[in-house]
């Protein structure tokens, strides 16, 4: 029965000349069987259109499966439904093929018409084979998309875990100025100057120990060779807290060195002399004397 079915469908899909159109010219009227064949041809055309729609939907699904991942199950169910409908139509074609055989026996076809129909049937048989292969490809694509879906679910799950972990970190309390100062010093003495700089800028913006914050920002600029910027921070530190601190001697020494690096020897000499006069017993006084010898 299936072999007969293959012969029938090609004729219906690809016949360019319909021998039954003779009735239109008044040679003879269409029999009920002929009318049935024409009607069946229309049904087959509808089937071809439905199949083309199915192919387009599947291609669209392949190109956009990532975007439509959430609705994938619904789409998959729809494809399965259409495949089931297609199988039903194939069964109907099989029945139609048998009907066509019976029509052949009843119709008084000429030899020329019969040869023509035979060629069309063979052509359609080849296309039915192609159609069956396409169905197998569709089924294969569905299986591949199921694998992709599982992979994407795992990827999304891992991504969500990462996002949730990141959100937890973002929801932590911001550092207090006191904690920021402590962490900034740890970064500074650990050599992580960029991290230290951000935290000292934060403490300065919060006006927390502003003289100390300015001093360390000056030290960071000094270490990076930005002497002009360093002088600005040193000056700001002294203006904020003019009294002696644990870092005053080092601040003055690096101020003098910065002047020297920028070519302002007179300002450098005055600063070195201040260190020697005000802090004669400090190690920076000894270093200042050596620098003054060089500047003579």
Identify the pLDDT of residue 155. 52
Rounded CA separation 43/34 (Å): 14
Residue pair 214/237 in contact (Cβ under 8 Å)? The answer is: yes
**CATH 3.60.15.10 matches 177-295:** no
pLDDT tens for the 296 residues of the chain, in order = 444 444 444 444 444 444 444 444 444 467 877 777 888 888 888 888 888 888 888 787 677 656 656 666 666 677 787 778 777 877 877 777 787 777 666 665 566 776 777 777 888 788 778 767 767 876 765 666 566 656 655 654 665 576 456 545 544 568 899 999 999 999 999 999 999 999 999 999 999 999 999 999 999 999 999 999 999 999 999 999 999 999 999 999 999 999 999 999 999 999 999 999 999 999 999 999 999 999 87
Rounded CA separation 154/150 (Å): 6
Sequence ranges of the domains in the chain: 2-170, 177-295
Identify the pLDDT of residue 148. 60
Rounded CA separation 38/161 (Å): 61
Identify the pLDDT of residue 84. 81
Q: Which of 250, 277, 5 is nearest to 127 (CA)?
A: 5
Rounded CA separation 252/245 (Å): 11
- DSSP letters spanning 57-110: HHHHHHHTTTTTSTTHHHHHHHHHHHHHHHHHHHHHHHHHHHHHHHHHHHS---
Q: Position of tokens 């904690």?
A: 179
Q: Is the pTM of this model over 0.85?
A: no
Q: Which of 189, 226, 197 is nearest to 213 (CA)?
A: 197
């Amino acid at each position: 029965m299936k072999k007969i079915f293959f012969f029938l469908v090609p004729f219906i899909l690809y016949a360019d000349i319909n021998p039954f159109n003779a009735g239109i010219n008044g040679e003879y009227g269409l029999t009920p069987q002929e009318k049935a064949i024409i009607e069946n041809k229309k049904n087959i055309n509808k089937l071809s259109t439905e199949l083309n729609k199915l192919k387009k939907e599947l291609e669209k699904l392949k190109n956009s499966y990532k975007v439509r991942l959430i609705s994938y199950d619904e789409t998959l169910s729809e494809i399965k439904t259409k495949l089931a409908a297609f199988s039903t139509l194939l069964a109907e074609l099989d029945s139609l093929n048998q009907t066509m055989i019976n029509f052949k026996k009843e119709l008084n076809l000429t030899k020329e018409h019969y040869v023509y129909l035979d060629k069309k049937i063979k052509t359609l048989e080849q296309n039915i084979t192609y159609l069956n292969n396409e169905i197998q490809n569709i089924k294969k694509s569905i299986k591949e998309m199921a694998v992709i879906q599982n992979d994407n679910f795992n990827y999304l799950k891992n991504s969500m875990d990462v996002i949730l972990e990141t959100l937890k970190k973002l929801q932590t309390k911001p550092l207090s100025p006191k904690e920021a100062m402590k962490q900034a010093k740890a970064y500074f003495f650990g050599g992580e100057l960029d991290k230290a700089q951000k935290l000292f800028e934060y403490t300065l913006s919060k006006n927390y120990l502003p003289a100390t914050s300015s001093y360390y920002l000056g030290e960071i600029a000094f270490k990076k060779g930005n002497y002009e910027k360093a002088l600005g921070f040193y000056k700001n530190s002294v203006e904020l807290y003019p009294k002696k601190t644990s870092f005053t001697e080092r601040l003055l020494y690096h101020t003098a060195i910065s002047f020297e690096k920028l070519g302002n020897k007179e300002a450098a000499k005055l600063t070195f002399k201040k260190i020697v006069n005000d802090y004669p017993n400090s190690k920076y006084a000894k270093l200042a004397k050596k620098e003054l010898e060089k500047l003579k």
